[in-house]
Amino acid sequence: QITLKESGPTLVKPTQTLTLTCTFSGFSLSTSGVGVGWIRQPPGKALEWLALIYWNDDKRYSPSLKSRLTITKDTSKNQVVLTMTNMDPVDTATYYCAHSVGGSFDYWGQGTLVTVSS
C-alpha cells in the first residue's frame, strides 16, 4: 500500500532554511502521471498548497512562495525534498507531503509540525 512520511527539524530559527524530506513507499515517482506534493497548515488555519514535483521532473510552486521554495526528488531513494528559505514565524505549520495522480492528493503523510522561533 502507499505510505508517505515527512521528516525534518521541529524547530528552526527565523531567517534559516528549512529542509523537509518525504520518504514514501508503495509507488514509484518514475511512473507516468505520478507526483508528490507538499501542503502546509498553520495551527488552526487552512491547508495551503506549496509545491509539487512530477514523474518527469516537472516542478510547480505556489506563486506566492515560489522565490523561497525548491523541490527535488531522488527516485532511487523514494524521497522528495522541499527546501524553504528565509523562514519566518508565520511559516509555523504542519507540513504534509502527499501522493498525487490525476486531479487530487489521494494519500497523505501524517504531517510534521515545524515551529519557527528564536
Part in contact with another protein (CB under 8 A); list of ranges 11-19, 21-29, 61-69, 74-82? 61-69
Contact 102, 33 (CB under 8 A): yes
Part in contact with another protein (CB under 8 A); list of ranges 11-19, 22-30, 59-67, 75-83? 59-67
- Tell me if 64 contacts another protein by CB under 8 A: yes
To the nearest 10°, the Cα dihedral for 89, 12, 10, 50? 60
- Tell me if 43 contacts another protein by CB under 8 A: no
- Tell me if 46 contacts another protein by CB under 8 A: yes
Query: Locate cell 523562514: which residue?
Result: 87
* DSSP of 39-104: EEE-TTS--EEEEEEETT--EEE-TTTGGGEEEEEEGGGTEEEEEE-S--GGG-EEEEEEEEETTE
- Tell me if 78 contacts another protein by CB under 8 A: no
Part in contact with another protein (CB under 8 A); list of ranges 12-20, 21-29, 84-92, 99-107? 99-107
Q: Residues interacting with another protein, by CB under 8 A?
A: 37, 39, 46-49, 52, 54, 58, 60, 62-64, 96, 102-111
